[in-house]
Structure 1
Amino acid sequence: MHSFITSLCLFLGSAEAAKGALHHHHNPRRDGGEHSSVLPKLSIPPSILDSYQLTWHEEFKHRPGHYLPSSENWIFDVGTSYPGGAPNWGTHEVETYTTSPANIRVTRDDTLTITPRVSSNRTWTSSRIETQRTDFAATPGGRLYIEGRLKTGSAPTYKQQGIWPAFWALGVDFRSNYTAWPAASEWDLMEVVNGLPKVYNTLHCGVAPGGPCNEYTGLGSGGVHWTGGQWHTVGFEVDRSAGVWYREKLKWYLDGQQVFQIPAARINSSAIWENIAHKGHFILLNVAVGGDWPGQPNATTVGGEGVQLEVDYIRVWNYYR
């Protein structure tokens, strides 16, 4: 792991002030346009701070009479699988995803909450959304930076067995072929399991089992300290600025500090790296319950606010060479 910076770069006065300003500019031009001077700065190292342009963002602005985020930006996954896809979302999760306001809503505080719920007979519901756009990518010689401000539940660890919140992305090829995993590639920007004080950053790619990404485990950070119930800024960068594929990198950030990276040379395949770092991806947010990694919920696992994922914003930035 490599730490470039230990202090956060502040948004316009404060994160809230920046967010308020952004609510008036939901469709910035690709080149930054007339609004570029009021866009919030990144919370990643200042060496690249001023060269990025905000190209997409979701501030989860509350709209009276609407509890879901805009369908212009988001697809709502429902049930226990994609149509024709692997059952239980391919991971043996036990929840059913819904669009119920009990499970997903935009709050009056302009945040998104995804809340697992458990019934009296111990069946689970939750929510999962993914961006309509599938073209989040770094251009040749450029960089892509994705950032979210998120908070996981504060329930005691013993009450979070099986709870699995995530902020992640899948390669565009998966959208049209639900069997294209892990070849399409998966970026896990943030995963927390069982309420443990760690956040996991992982890349999945290639073939399974085995392959250059060591599937089904993936290539990961091994866990970085995380505190539930507190806001964190999670960032991810695709850096293609070196100009040749084998010098490109993926980088993960937490609260303004780089915590993990994967160089292309570690993958050692231009075809696999193309899917990882050159093709478009789409962003997902969800809270799964159960699954191969966290294990199944037990009698002490709770639903509700103590295990929910709350999201302040998701922002996508690009640097164009």
Structure 2
Amino acid sequence: MRDRTDVGAIPRRRLGARLKAAASAVLLTVTTVGISTLTAVAVPGTAHAAVPAPPPGFTLTWSDDFSAAAGTGVNTGTWKYDTGPGSSFGTGEIETMTNSTANVFHDGNGHLVLRALHSGTNPTQGWTSGRIETQAATFGAPAGGVVRMESSIQQPNVTTANGAGYWPAFWMLGAPLRSGVPWPTSGEIDILEDINGRSSVFGTLHCGTNPGGVCNESTGLGSGERPCPGCQTGYHTYAVEIDRSKSPEEIRWYLDGNNYFTLPATRVPAATWTSAVQHPFFIIYDLAIGGGFPAAFGGGPFASTISGGQMNIDYVAVYNKGPGGGGGGGNVAQGKPTTASSVENASLGAANATDGSGTTRWSSAFSDPQWIQVDLGRSYTINRVTLNWEAAYGKAYQIQTSADGTTWTNVYSTTTGDGGTDDLTLSGTGRYIRVNGTQRATPYGYSLFEFQVYGT
């Protein structure tokens, strides 16, 4: 099996799983000058599936079932559009990604659709499509725990005869990328990729340095091509698990619940694994056209390539398993009562830091010290805290726990905070937890997009 070849800076991949009971899609094509056009796509009998219950030992951390009115775009509180020419993504793709509901839309039946469209007569120009990523960059496995990312997807209903150049993907990039850590050092995990309508799936980890390095970039360390029968005509589940409860740690890829590829941490040096895997991620969907990966398997798009092929997404879910094998590995602070020593103004209240959104934030008054506190509702054994700072961050701060909200115990302390995302492994117990800031890094206050707490 041949691994994918990428071009340039930030490649990606796709993966698949559970077959969903459904009738085959009906495709009607009309031949125009230079390229065929998909003029109607119907998937009769394809019912919307509920987000599955967590696997044994896991809890549901976050999900989206894409229930929205037909023809509407994504919820920009949860997702962001990645727009612009495909050439800017470093993979050689040729489409332009847009936020138009011609390319990214809900179908009204519980599915999100990414659709690639072509105009003109030149098959290598005139393509538009869609790419989105989560606002939150908080999905990861705590030390000793496991995280599972899963999605039910129907790949574009194209074949090798009419789908050359199509490149659907469900994948993740490491949160440190958003704070300036370069690709691929910051990590990329490709959960589903297929190219050229081959009814295949590729799963890959990108890490280390590019080109070459211990992770063989820009190809990465992957499964190679695996068969994915029926993945163009029906919904299948694609999942990855990052397991930090084992020694060595490992990443497992699943198609329809079957583990088809496992990558142990021992494949790369410990520092490479830590930089690429031991932190949160953000999730991405996209439908690219052309590029280095399709080119490695015959190229495209060609005059025979159909316009209008679409990637249909039923749901996405993130599940966590806490250290020790039990459940409770999710963010136990989300939605819990949150208070602070001060707020910059009424729109930047403390609750914004625990609302699960990567776009709202808490901001304090412009003085030291300041704190933000969460009442978890009951006592937890806490093993991990993630702080997603805005540009105004804490240089010196402590993470503190308390049984009564009055007497506090330090479980983490730093005087060298550098902003971005702080993913902290720690050990503490309490009903209450707070960030106690003692020195600001800027003239402004302390400002957090998200204050996440993990424990059992």
TM over 0.5: yes
Mapped partners of 2:210, 2:65: distance in 1: 36
Could you tell me how far 1:80 is from its partner in structure 2?
1.6
Q: Is the 8 A contact 1:144 1:317 kept in 2?
A: yes
Q: Which residue number in structure 1 is paired with residue 90 of structure 2?
A: 90
Q: Is the 8 A contact 2:156 2:168 kept in 1?
A: no
2:303 paired with 1:299: yes
Unmatched 5+ residue regions in structure 2?
1-16, 21-45, 324-456
Q: Identify the range of structure 1 (201-210 vs 221-230) with the bigger mean alpha-carbon deviation.
A: 221-230
Q: Which residue number in structure 2 is paired with residue 76 of structure 1?
A: 81
Could you tell me how far 1:224 is from its partner in structure 2?
1.6
CA separation of 1:92 and 1:172: change in aligned 2, threshold 3 A: same
Q: Which residue number in structure 2 is paired with residue 182 of structure 1?
A: 184
Task: Tell me which structure has the larger Cα radius of gyration.
Answer: 2
Q: Is the 8 A contact 1:55 1:318 kept in 2?
A: yes
RMSD of aligned residue pairs (Cα, Å): 2.1
DSSP 3-state at the match of 2:293 = coil
Q: Is the 8 A contact 2:47 2:109 kept in 1?
A: no
DSSP 3-state at the match of 1:294 = helix
Q: Which residue number in structure 2 is paired with residue 62 of structure 1?
A: 68
Q: Which residue number in structure 1 is paired with residue 266 of structure 2?
A: 265
Mapped partners of 1:275, 1:318: distance in 2: 20
Mapped partners of 1:205, 1:311: distance in 2: 27
Q: Is the 8 A contact 1:88 1:94 kept in 2?
A: no
Q: Which residue number in structure 1 is paired with residue 242 of structure 2?
A: 238
The one-letter amino acid paired with 1:115 is: R
Q: Is the 8 A contact 1:9 1:256 kept in 2?
A: no
Q: Is the 8 A contact 2:191 2:253 kept in 1?
A: yes
The one-letter amino acid paired with 2:304 is: T
Mapped partners of 2:174, 2:53: distance in 1: 27
Greater relative contact order (Cα 8 A, min sep 6): structure 1 or 2? Answer: 1
Q: Which residue number in structure 1 is paired with residue 130 of structure 2?
A: 127
The one-letter amino acid paired with 2:254 is: Y
Mapped partners of 2:159, 2:192: distance in 1: 20
Q: Is the 8 A contact 1:201 1:252 kept in 2?
A: yes
Could you tell me how far 1:88 is from its partner in structure 2?
3.1
Q: Is the 8 A contact 1:9 1:41 kept in 2?
A: no
The one-letter amino acid paired with 1:297 is: P
Q: Which residue number in structure 2 is paired with residue 41 of structure 1?
A: 53
Q: Which residue number in structure 1 is paired with residue 166 of structure 2?
A: 163
CA separation of 1:17 and 1:120: change in aligned 2, threshold 3 A: closer
- Percent identical across equivalent pairs? 37
Unmatched 5+ residue regions in structure 1?
1-6, 23-39, 43-48, 82-86
CA separation of 1:208 and 1:17: change in aligned 2, threshold 3 A: closer
Q: Is the 8 A contact 2:205 2:222 kept in 1?
A: yes
Could you tell me how far 1:175 is from its partner in structure 2?
2.0
2:211 paired with 1:209: yes
CA separation of 1:68 and 1:57: change in aligned 2, threshold 3 A: same
Mapped partners of 2:304, 2:177: distance in 1: 35
CA separation of 1:170 and 1:61: change in aligned 2, threshold 3 A: same
Mapped partners of 1:96, 1:121: distance in 2: 16
Q: Which residue number in structure 2 is paired with residue 32 of structure 1?
A: none
2:201 to 199, 202, 211: 199
Partner deviation per Cα, 1:145-165 (whole Å, 9 max, x = no partner): 000000012223221111100
CA separation of 1:131 and 1:196: change in aligned 2, threshold 3 A: same
Mapped partners of 2:81, 2:48: distance in 1: 29
DSSP 3-state at the match of 1:265 = helix
Q: Is the 8 A contact 2:170 2:284 kept in 1?
A: yes
Mapped partners of 2:185, 2:305: distance in 1: 34
Could you tell me how far 1:72 is from its partner in structure 2?
1.2
Mapped partners of 2:284, 2:48: distance in 1: 26
| Structure richer in helix, relative to its length | 1
Partner deviation per Cα, 1:276-313 (whole Å, 9 max, x = no partner): 22111100000000101102411111111xx2100000
User: Under a length normalisation based on structure 2, what TM-score does the superposition of the two structures give?
Assistant: 0.57
DSSP 3-state at the match of 2:294 = coil
DSSP 3-state at the match of 2:272 = helix
Could you tell me how far 1:8 is from its partner in structure 2?
6.8
Could you tell me how far 1:216 is from its partner in structure 2?
1.3
Partner deviation per Cα, 1:34-81 (whole Å, 9 max, x = no partner): xxxxxx335xxxxxx3210100101101137x6112111101011126
CA separation of 1:237 and 1:189: change in aligned 2, threshold 3 A: same
Q: Identify the range of structure 1 (110-119 vs 270-279) with the bigger mean alpha-carbon deviation.
A: 270-279
Could you tell me how far 1:17 is from its partner in structure 2?
8.1
Q: Which residue number in structure 1 is paired with residue 250 of structure 2?
A: 249
Q: Which residue number in structure 2 is paired with residue 116 of structure 1?
A: 116
Mapped partners of 2:278, 2:107: distance in 1: 35
Mapped partners of 1:182, 1:140: distance in 2: 22
The one-letter amino acid paired with 1:117 is: L
Q: Is the 8 A contact 1:249 1:264 kept in 2?
A: yes
User: Under a length normalisation based on structure 1, what TM-score does the superposition of the two structures give?
Assistant: 0.80
Mapped partners of 1:155, 1:137: distance in 2: 33
Q: Is the 8 A contact 1:104 1:126 kept in 2?
A: yes
2:157 paired with 1:154: yes
Partner deviation per Cα, 1:252-297 (whole Å, 9 max, x = no partner): 0000100001000111x22211122211110000000010110241
The one-letter amino acid paired with 1:101 is: T
Could you tell me how far 1:222 is from its partner in structure 2?
1.3
